[in-house]
């Protein structure tokens, strides 16, 4: 579980760093026409493209690690006195892994909205670009909330599992 938690924190910090650096990098996509993506928008697009594989890897790892760790906790629960705590930790891990599946779908949707916005800007369609930006921002906020929930649930499951491990060592 601690590897998963570390990966969640590292992916979040890395994405934050990417967004901060690339938004300030003063990069801009330009075409022969007058359509231009400004530097912050270009930075957001590039950071999203660069960060997405890392997030997908963390979500995929969590979808495997969550159920495996939950199964290990349930096997261990029969040998310690903190059975309820370990079962609750296992349940939280399963919910956290399921959220990862939803996050993978959201990541794909976010990428699609980013492409749509970029195409709308470059084709000089401000209404479509504004609608795509609103959809992109809405999906991104939803993803950030789920990411925070995932981290909190993982931390809670770790806290629930730790006392059970100490009890096991004491007997």
By the 8 A CB rule, do 162 and 13 touch?
no
User: How many CB atoms within 10 Å of residue 30?
Assistant: 11
pTM of this structure:
0.72
Q: What spatial distance separates the first Cα and last Cα of the chain, rounded to whole Å?
A: 23
Q: What does the pLDDT look like over 98-129, one tens digit per residue?
A: 998 898 888 888 888 888 888 887 788 888 88
Domain boundaries, the chain: 2-166
Q: Show the tokens assigned to 23.
A: 């938004």
Q: What does the pLDDT look like over 16-46, one tens digit per residue?
A: 777 777 777 666 555 545 455 666 666 777 7
């Amino acid at each position: 579980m601690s590897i998963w938690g570390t990966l969640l924190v590292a992916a979040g910090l890395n994405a934050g760093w990417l967004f901060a650096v690339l938004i300030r990098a003063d990069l801009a996509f330009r075409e022969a026409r007058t359509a231009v993506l400004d530097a912050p928008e270009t930075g957001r697009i590039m950071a999203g493209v660069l960060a997405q594989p890392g997030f997908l890897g963390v979500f995929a790892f969590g979808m495997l690690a969550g159920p495996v760790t939950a199964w290990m906790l349930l096997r261990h629960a029969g040998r310690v006195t903190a059975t309820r705590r370990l079962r609750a930790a296992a349940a939280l891990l399963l919910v956290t892994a399921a959220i990862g599946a939803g996050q993978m779908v959201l990541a794909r949707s976010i990428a699609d909205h980013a492409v749509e916005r970029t195409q709308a800007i470059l084709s000089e369609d401000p209404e479509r670009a504004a609608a795509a930006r609103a959809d992109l921002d809405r999906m991104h906020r939803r993803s950030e909330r789920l990411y925070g929930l995932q981290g909190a649930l993982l931390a809670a499951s770790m806290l629930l599992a730790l006392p059970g491990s100490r009890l096991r060592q004491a007997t």
